[in-house]
Amino acid sequence: MNYDKANSQLDGRCKLSRRIGNNTYLIRHSGVPGDSIHLKLHDTYIMTWYADGRIELNSGGWRTVTTKARMNEYLEDGWGISQVKGQWYLTRYHNGKHEDVCLYDDGLVINPDETVMGGEPIGKVRELLALRRKVNRFATAYAKAFASGNVPKPSAGDCFYCVMREVKTGKPLGECTHDTDHLISHLDEKYYVPSILLRAMETIPVSKAFEQTIHAKWEEKPEYSFFKLDDTWFQSQLKTTVSRYMLRQLGQAA
């Protein structure tokens, strides 16, 4: 559906509002930035058609099966919303198949010339997913390396950007200088820097028992350990702590 088709459904006594489905209404609105018609589902304007041809999408935070179904029902032919592992994507039918255009985000606008405003470009999304997979593999290997004794106690011999702190803030130097290249190099080179785990425990909440087990290993005092280093739970927590810290330092949601 486009603005003209929505407008044609608001004729006569239905000029301002018309029920077109279960809990679904077309609502006319006039004002800045011009005439517009909303598709209202419950209390949320999930779609807005503007007189200039723009279409705006907004789930209102309700990314439900019904919201997605209504969007797909009333979007213009060729456009759609798909879902993969809980994530929504804006798609377009092109060259005989549906292709992902971008990551869906509320406020996303489809312009009359079929360009899109808002939403992370799909190429960028794939880059971020690849980065998260790389971090996950690194964190898994890091946990195993620690259990094998291949992550020694942090020292001045560690990565300069990971071990050194800025005097004023006390933050790791790499975080203060926004230098993430050295972290990417650790991922690529599989360099299990001890200071990464130390900084991770300072940043990511961990239990005292977990922290004491780490230090017991570094101080070579196994009698103070709460967990065996190859214990499934301990390995999982170590992996999660390192993974969340690395993602945070790389500017990603952890």
Please report the pLDDT score of residue 166 as a whole number: 59
What single-letter amino acid sits at 146?
F
Torsions phi, psi for 215 (to 5 deg): -70, -30
What six digits make up the tokens of 27?
């609502």
Task: Tell which wins on pLDDT, 144 or 15.
Answer: 144
Indicate the domain borders of the chain: 3-119, 124-249
Q: How far apart are alpha carbons 66 and 210 in whole angstroms?
A: 44
Is pLDDT above 80 for 68?
yes
Is pLDDT above 90 for 157?
no
Between 10-14, 114-118, 132-136, 185-189, the lowest mean confidence (pLDDT) is in: 10-14
Is pLDDT above 80 for 211?
yes
Q: How far apart are alpha carbons 8 and 6 in whole angstroms?
A: 5
